[in-house]
Each structure stands twice: as C-alpha cells, then as structure tokens.
Structure 1
Amino acid sequence: MQGGGTRSPVSGTQPPDPRQVVLARFIRFCSSVFSTPLPQEAAALTVNRISEMVRVDRAVLVKLHGKNPIIAVTGGGPAAQDSSFADAVEAVLQRYKNSQKTAIVPRIPENAKESSPHLWQIQQAMGGTRILWLPLWLSHDDSIQPQHALWLERWHGHPWEKQDIDLLQHAALFLGHGLMRPRVETRSKKRFTRIAAFIILIIFLAMPVTSSVTAPARISPDRPYYIFAPMDGILKELFVRPGQWVEKDDILFRYDSRVLDKRLDEAYRNVAAARAKFAKLEGAAHRDPDARAELPVQRLEVERAESDARFFANQRARADVKNARPGVIVLDDPDALIGSSLQTGQAVMSVADPSQTKLRIMVPASDIGFLAKGARVSIRLDSAPLKSYPAIITRIGFEVQISEEQIPSVLAEAIWVGNPPDVRTGQKGTAKIIGKSTFMIMQILRKPLIAIRTFLGL
C-alpha cells in the first residue's frame, strides 16, 4: 500500500535480533544463578540451564581443589566420585586446573588410549564427544585462581564454534562469582535455627521432672511357709520340683534311713533281750535273794531299751518329710539337694501361696538416697516389657550385698498396689523407683557426674 495506510501487525513486525535474544538469555541465566539462596541450587541451575545460551548436551560442574571434584551434572543425577567418568574428569582436571584459559580437550588417538583409557572412552561415546574445559575465573588477575570449572560436552562429533566459546568465556566471570557469592539469607536461617535449637535445649534441661532410679527386681513369695530339716541326715529322694503344687501331708523329701533302720533293729533286739532277762530274774526271785535284788535294776533296763526303741521308731517315721500347708514349691536348685547333708533346723525349701507375692529390689549403693518407705515403684517384667505394675516400698535393708550384676546393692522390698498381678515367683524385671522433683539436667547428668567425681577422686 502507498501513502499513509497502516501496516499489518504481522507483515510489519521486524524479526528479533539474534544478538538481543542471546543477550537476554545471558542476563536471565546469570541473574538466576545470583538469585539462588543455596549453593547447591546455584550449582544445579548452572549445569541445567547453560544450554539456553549455547548448545550443550551435558554439563558437569567441577571443583578445582579438594576431594570429590564433581559437584553437579546435567539432569540432577548422582555425582558418583568413583566411576570411570569421574576418573576421566580427574584426568582433565589435573591437566588444566592451574590454567585460567578455556581449552578444547584434544582427542586421544586410539594408539595412545592406554595413557588415559577412561577419557578415551568418553570421547568415543555418543557418536563422538567434544569436550570444552571452561574455568569459571574470578578476576582478570592471573594470581587469583578460579575455584570451579565447567566440563561441557557436545555429542555426535559437533565441534565447538568460536562464537560459542567467546560467549561462554563472558559468562564464566559471572558464573564464578555467582557460585562463590556468600548466601547471607542462608547463614541467617542457619544462625536462627541454631539459636532456636539452643533455646529449646535450655528449656528442656530446665524442665522440672520427678527424679527416679532403676534397679533389677525379682518376684518372690510373700510370707511363705518354710520347710526345715527335722534332723541330721542325708537327703536321699526329692519328690517335688520348683513351681509344683502340693497338698497337705504330701511327701516332700526322704532321708537316707539305712542307719536309722539298723539302729531301730538293734533297739528292738535290746528290748527283747532286756525283757527276757527280766522274766528270768522274776522267776528266780522267789528263791534267790540276789535275783530279787537285781530285779528293779533290770526293770529300769527294760524301760530304757523300750525308750530307745520308741526314739528310733519316731526318727524313722520322720525320715519322710511331709507338707503341712498347700501351696507352690519354692526351690532354687533341686538337683543340688539330692545327696546333700542336712542339719537340724536347716531351711530346705518353702511352700508359698502363688496369689501372694512381693518384690525384692537390689538398689545400687550409689542410689540409696532415693530409697524411702512408701516410695512409689513402677515394675516392668522381662516377660512383658511394655506393661508396668505399681508398687510401694515397704522395707529397706541395712547391709550392702553383691547383686547378680556384681554391683554393691541394698535389698528393698515392695508390695503391689491394688490387686496383685498374675505373675509367677522367680520372674525378673526392672523397677523404677520414683523420688523427689528435680531438674532434667540433674536427672541426666547425675550418674556421669558421679563417675567423673569417682575417677578424679573428688
């Protein structure tokens, strides 16, 4: 159209200048790197968005100093530090880390691949890989060494053009400073987090708590009926086992009665002999004054012999020890009793009512200060560690004993609160003895402070 006619919006639009497009992408890319709050995000953004400026099939951000040089890889995959690819990166790193110049990594001929086999494999992969080493320098001053570099790949044999390299070199200074820029916001957040955690810890340690100590506990019978040895002798047979229910007059154990049987036979023979002599003297007493005078003495001899026979018969009857009250047998080691020598009055076993039990708690001597009559106790048995039973301390011993754990301890007894639980005598567990109120820090540090004081001798 001629004159002052209007142009069509489409036909009158000028195509964008490629240089302006590249410049806009360059600015957006560098701005994004500078605006990231975390160094990890800046590293990931660098390798994933550098292809917006030039063609890059894979980018790797490399740390020039220290261990584990691979920081980030295009796509966000794991940066394996012990792979063949990492070995190839390490080989190029050692060659160029002291240089601030961009370099196209030369291809390794096949006849020289043994010098760097991993790098040769990378260059042969993907139809031919061209690698550009781009140091992310921080200043034009050569004395200021860069901290990072980019490993950039083009696949299928595509070469690196000069204009692309020039653009990347311009971006290198911005990227170097973007990766090294201190993240004030992140440090502030970390500082705030540390302060908040410290305040929470102080509040936690200053919380008032109820002091407590733990000690091993064992279920024992309450007021059992003890079986004592009625006489001296050897226990020959044991008719009961621990935990067995017995009724009244059941035989519990039997003595070795061979000596008693021998003495009883001798006593019966002595009675017979004494009676025979008494009868003979009684018949001769009518005509013999000596026999008449000896007759009272012989009568006493007969009574003595009969008394000995009754004694040994009674002892023989006591060789079978019977139970006097129904209940459950409480006995530690039944096998050790058979063949053992018993003395009169020695406690052999006990018979207990299984519904009446109590607790025997071996409290370490270092925790005696927490013991008091009436103190509350929480019991957790080994057979049911997630369930607790309440009890109360009723008796505290005075003597220090060595517990099963070889710790100097004091014996304390406790009774159940409310209805006794369904437990068996001999069960073991842990008793938690509740003490007075204290601070959490004292509850936590009490035993370590005791150990330190003992070690230092204070």
Structure 2
Amino acid sequence: MTMNEPLPHPNLLLQLDALRDKAMAAETLPALAFSMANDLYPLLPFHQALVFAQRDSSLELLNVSGLARPSEDSPYLVWLRRASRWLAAQVPAGEPVWLSQDKVSAPEEIAEGWNEWWPAGLWCVPVEDRGGQRLGLLILLLEQEPPAMFWPHLKGLVNTWGYCWAALSRRRRLGRWWPNRKQLLLGLIVLGALLLLPVRQTALAPTEIVSRQAQIISSPIDGVIEQIQVRPNQPVDAGTPLFVLDETTLRSRAEVLGKEVMVADAELLAASQRAFDNPQSKNELTLLEGRAQQRRAELAAVQAQLKRTQVLSPRAGVAVFSDPNDWLGKPVVTGERIMQVADPSQPAMLIQLAVADAIALEPGAEVTLFLTAYPLTPLKGKILETSYQARPSDEGVVAYRLLASIEGEPAHARLGLHGTAKLYGGRVMLGYYLLRRPLATLRAWSGW
C-alpha cells in the first residue's frame, strides 16, 4: 500500500480478522467450505456463493450458500455439476477472474442454465496452498465486478483459507488412506508369497495328567457302598482295603439258605429211613438229594459274594477318585468304576482333541502342555497312541483320545492337573493353515 492509497476502514479490518478466526476454528473441510460460502456476504453482497474442491480437471461441489449440505438431486445441482467442468478450464492459477455472460462464449447447455439460474457475472476466486497448487474455487454470483481495491484486502483472507484447506485435507488423507493400483498389486504379490511360506501345523486341546500304569477298581458285585477306607490321592500298597459293600442283604440271604439246607438234609434223612420199610420212598430220594445240593450251591454262592464285599488294592500306587461322600450309600452294579490305583511315577498326558480341530498326527509327534497351575513351566512330550474313533467327552464334545508321554521327571507333573496341550503336526503352506477350517466348513455346508 502506497502513501496515496486510502487506508482501509477499521470495520473492514475487524470483519476480515473475524473471518480468519472462523477459518482457523474450522475442524473439517465441510465446515471451512460453509464459512467461505456464507460468512463473506456482509463484505460483498452476492446472489449466491459456491465452493468447489479441485479434483484433477474437474470440480466437486462442497457447499452452496444458504444450504447446510448440497446433497439434493435438484435440476440446478445436476446442471451445476456439468457446469463445474467448464468453469475449471476458465480460471487460470493465481488471481481471481471475472466472467461476464456477454463477454464469455459458453457452450449452449451452459448458457441456457446461466440464463435461468445465474446473474450477469461470476467472480471466480482460486484457493491455493503455499506451493501454488490449486485446492478449490470460490464462485460469487454478482451483477457487476467487485471494486479493484477489494481484492488486495481479501487476498490475506484467501491465503488463510488455503492454509486451513491444505491442513484439513492432509488430515483427511491421513485418516482415510487408500492404496493406489501399484501399491495394491504389490500388496497382493507380497500376500501371495506369504501364503506360500511353509509353517508347522498346530492344534490346541484340553489335557489332563494321568498315569500310564493305572488300574481301574470296579464293583465286584451289585450292592451299596458302606464305607470308603482310603482318602483321595492316598498312597496304597498291594492288599490295602479300599472300600466295603454293605453285607446286610447277603448275610440275611445266607442265613435263610442255611436254614433251607438244614431242612433239605432233614427231609433227605427221613426219606432214606423210610426207604427200608417202604419201597415207594426210594423214588423220592433222588429228588430230595438234588434239592439239598441246590440249596448248598446257593449258600456257597452267597458266601462267596460275602467274601467279595471287601475290595483290596491289587497293586501299589495312589488311589484316584472323587469325594468319598459322593459314594457313601450309593447303589452300584457289577463292573461300575469306583476309583483307580495309579502309579504316580509314570505320568502321561491324556489329550481330548476335538474333531473340528483335528490335524494329521502320528505317534512320535511333539506335544507341549501348558498347565493351568504352572503356566510358565510347560511340559514336553510325544504322542504314544491315538484313537481312530472319536467319542463324546465328559463335556459333550466329540473328540479323539490321545496319550502322550512326559519327558524327564518334572516335580509339578502331578496326577489330575489340567491344562492346554499344543500339538505339532507336519509342515504345510500358510494359506492352507489359515483356510483349512473355513474350507472344511464350506464343504460341509455346500457338499462341494
């Protein structure tokens, strides 16, 4: 500004400063475009203001003065999108351009819409960043060109708009980054190469520590458990009493059979004495003798059962079972499992591998067990045997039963502890490892 030029009015400077503050306070690009299209009216009354964003060789409408969001598909907005491509070519970089209807030769389609919706002229103000790259375009619909002295005062505000526009656009690009075609192709190639990498196939399964030398103790006869004579996990020797079945019913039966044996013997003796005098009594001797032998056999069977009501440990080990109170007074049948006598010096892993997680495993495959009680000290082992038929587990999950060894003699490998075992199979491609279960599910669903 030279000494001969008049100073701007203080009210103009205050209004320009307020517009700069609004631009700096905008948090998004639409908010900045709304301020550009509506807040300039007190300084330069216009029919309408349009804010476009530069998109290569075309313009994208961001805001129309008087509208919160220009998302309507009205005839004016549809025509405006076509006219923006013509406007982008009419405004060079740098200074604003005044386009007058009588001095610009617009295409017929643009001219018809201009006559219907626009006034005599357009004042096109380009918005650029510091490097001179166009970011957008402000179009003011006016009847006549603004005074020449207005642009020097407005230029600082336009530069502020460009600075805020560039900052908000950079933030938007950082938040919504999308790869180009070259980056996408390179990413697909890298992904394909990763899917071909060989990895080791693994599976996880619930596991319990059991003994490799364990003998099941079952009920020898039908009856009711009267007393459990050992505690859970108690060391026992061969011949140690484990539990006793109630003998009340068997002793009563034995007493009754004893009386019947005495009666049968008495009848047989009487018939033998009568046979000397009465030949017909000889025919009864065979029948009475057979009846007496039957009663003796029944009595011997009951007495044998009485001897089996006391169950002894067949070997040395540890008695493994649940709470004794769960068994007291409980009726059991012959062969029903009561407890186990296990050797704690030969622990092993009992693995329940669900059918859905099953992988190809052979005896000798490696296993790592992470106990729930000792997660930082895993146990190592190898598969000893696998079942070829899946059975429902106690949790109702159909699973294969696997038995694995435990390497060394770890002190925390106690019977009854639970954990999660990681099973290691053969090496496969990473793509197969990731897509194995989805493909199996797809085949089961589609039958393909």
Structure 2 length as normaliser, TM-score?
Answer: 0.57
Letter in 2 for 1:173: V
CA distance in 1, matches of 2:237, 2:192: 63
CA distance in 2, matches of 1:64, 1:258: 90
2:88 aligned with 1:98, yes or no?
no
| Alignment CA distance shift 1:60-1:339 (3 Å) | same
CA distance in 1, matches of 2:447, 2:96: 62
2:290 aligned with 1:350, yes or no?
no
- The 5 A counterparts of 1:295-334 are 311-331=301-321
CA distance in 1, matches of 2:255, 2:397: 55
- Asked whether the 8 Å contact 1:355–1:420 carries over to 2, the reply is no
CA distance in 1, matches of 2:318, 2:96: 92
Deviations 1:398-448, CA, capped at 9 Å, x for gaps: 222223554432222212233355323333222222112122232222222
- Asked whether the 8 Å contact 1:100–1:142 carries over to 2, the reply is no
CA distance in 1, matches of 2:248, 2:327: 18
SS in 2 for 1:210: strand
Q: Which residue of 2 is the match for residue 175 of structure 1?
A: 160
| Alignment CA distance shift 1:168-1:235 (3 Å) | farther
Q: Which residue of 2 is the match for residue 61 of structure 1?
A: 24
SS in 1 for 2:390: strand
Letter in 1 for 2:38: N
Deviations 1:129-149, CA, capped at 9 Å, x for gaps: xxxxxxxx994554669799x
| Alignment CA distance shift 1:278-1:432 (3 Å) | same
CA distance in 1, matches of 2:240, 2:95: 99
Deviates more, 1:409-418 or 1:334-343: 334-343
| Alignment CA distance shift 1:269-1:18 (3 Å) | farther
| Alignment CA distance shift 1:197-1:303 (3 Å) | closer
| Alignment CA distance shift 1:357-1:290 (3 Å) | farther
2:240 aligned with 1:250, yes or no?
yes
| Alignment CA distance shift 1:54-1:226 (3 Å) | closer
User: 1:199: how far off?
Assistant: 6.7
Letter in 2 for 1:430: T
What residue ranges of structure 1 are gaps of 5+ in the alignment?
1-16, 20-52, 71-92, 105-136, 149-164
SS in 2 for 1:422: coil
Q: Which residue of 2 is the match for residue 118 of structure 1?
A: none
| Alignment CA distance shift 1:302-1:166 (3 Å) | closer
Deviations 1:298-326, CA, capped at 9 Å, x for gaps: 99999887776555444323222222323
Identical positions, percent: 23
CA distance in 2, matches of 1:250, 1:222: 21
CA distance in 2, matches of 1:58, 1:351: 86
CA distance in 2, matches of 1:334, 1:253: 10
Letter in 1 for 2:157: A
User: 1:258: how far off?
Assistant: 1.3
Letter in 1 for 2:251: D
| Alignment CA distance shift 1:170-1:203 (3 Å) | same
- The 5 A counterparts of 1:391-410 are 391-404=381-394, 406-410=396-400
Q: Which residue of 2 is the match for residue 211 of structure 1?
A: 201
Q: Which residue of 1 is the match for residue 210 of structure 2?
A: 220
Deviations 1:195-223, CA, capped at 9 Å, x for gaps: 88777655544432111122222222222
User: 1:190: how far off?
Assistant: 7.9
User: 1:356: how far off?
Assistant: 1.9
Q: Which residue of 2 is the match for residue 378 of structure 1?
A: 368
Q: Which residue of 2 is the match for residue 229 of structure 1?
A: 219
2:261 aligned with 1:261, yes or no?
no
| Alignment CA distance shift 1:64-1:272 (3 Å) | closer
- Asked whether the 8 Å contact 2:207–2:349 carries over to 1, the reply is yes
User: 1:351: how far off?
Assistant: 0.8
Deviations 1:263-317, CA, capped at 9 Å, x for gaps: 33335545667888999999x99xx9569x99x9999999887776555444323
Deviations 1:366-421, CA, capped at 9 Å, x for gaps: 45441222211122222233432222112121222223554432222212233355
2:408 aligned with 1:418, yes or no?
yes
User: 1:224: how far off?
Assistant: 0.9
Deviates more, 1:375-384 or 1:342-351: 342-351
SS in 1 for 2:378: strand
SS in 1 for 2:311: strand
SS in 2 for 1:387: coil
What residue ranges of structure 2 are gaps of 5+ in the alignment?
4-15, 45-93, 98-121, 128-134, 137-149
| Alignment CA distance shift 1:271-1:447 (3 Å) | closer
